[in-house]
Amino acid sequence: METLTKGCDLTISVNNFNLSYDDVGEGSVPVIFLHGYPFDKTMWKLQLDFLKSSHRLISCDIRGFGKSTDEKSSLSIDMFGEDLIAFMDKLNIDKAIICGLSMGGFIALNALDKFPNRFKALILCDTQCIADTAEVKEKRYKIIDEIEIDGAKNFNNGFIKSVFHKDSITNKKELVEQLSSVVFSNSKHIIKLGLVALAERSETCSTLKHIVIPTLIICGREDEVTPLAQSEFMNETIKGSTLKVIDNAGHVSNLEHPDEFNKYLLEFLTTLSK
């Protein structure tokens, strides 16, 4: 078995693209973090810094985003799930704890349904199991047309405003600017392909009743992108799952209130090792 490097901004070839990832800390079952759209693995830095003294943590740039560049392939949630399993295989990871926020949660639920034996526990953050309604899907394609004509600036600016709680927009300007720079670093092409992947995803609500691994659900109380009601539904449907709600947080609760988010993560991970 090859010895694999640990550290940040590592690269490994997976399914015909180079996947960028961070791999820190030690532990028998790693926690793999999947970012939301259209972000990258840096959104998990505060979680990695907090937990790396006690756990092995891996955050990866999903195909097309961050440093996992792929400007050629059509993107889909199915493909991202297959990439995740291939990535785990390359790193000789038999089982992982999977943590996904928003689109990362879509990927986690997709992969768990197809490869249930590869995951020891599930953490769903500011996400949902529903597919796009016809209306939402139509809206996404309209946005794609607008981006094609006018570029992604208007979409990016509107999206940034939608993911934060109003207090964060006012009082956490540095955080908002940091995430904004990540969003604006995506090519217009990837912004559009990501919207297609979101629009065409399948629902996973029908799979929730089959989930038997420990599950933690975290949601910002004022999340407007994937509302709290969606997390409450998943909590009711996934047997034995735990729901934690973060006040004064929107769609990126791990960034807006990292101390509270990290506390819930650590509590959950500690119960798994008992």
Q: What is the pLDDT of residues 134-158, one digit of tens each?
A: 999 999 999 999 999 999 999 999 9
pLDDT of residue 4: 65
Which pLDDT band holds residue 2 (cuts at 50, 70, 90)? very low
pLDDT of residue 145: 97
Phi, psi of 115, rounded to the nearest 5 degrees: -130, 60
| 203-216: average pLDDT | 98
pLDDT of residue 6: 87
CA distances 250 to 54, 123, 167, 183, 255, Å, are 28, 17, 10, 17, 10
Adjacent-strand bridge partners of 17: 14
Separation between Cα atoms, residue 43 and residue 37, nearest integer Å? 11
| 38-66: average pLDDT | 97
Instruction: Please write the tens of the pLDDT for every residue from 153-179.
Output: 999 999 999 999 999 999 999 999 999
Residue 99, pLDDT above cutoff 50: yes
Which pLDDT band holds residue 32 (cuts at 50, 70, 90)? very high
pTM: 0.97
pLDDT of residue 5: 75
Question: In the CATH scheme, what is the homologous superfamily, with its name and number, of domain 7-131+202-272?
Answer: Alpha/Beta hydrolase fold, catalytic domain (3.40.50.1820)
CA distances 101 to 33, 58, 72, 105, Å, are 8, 14, 25, 5
Which residues, including other chains, have CB under 8 Å from residue 106's CB and lie 6 or more apart?
Answer: 77, 100, 127, 198, 201, 204
Closest CA to 30 of 9, 6, 65, 2: 6
pLDDT of residue 254: 98
Residue 1, pLDDT above cutoff 60: no
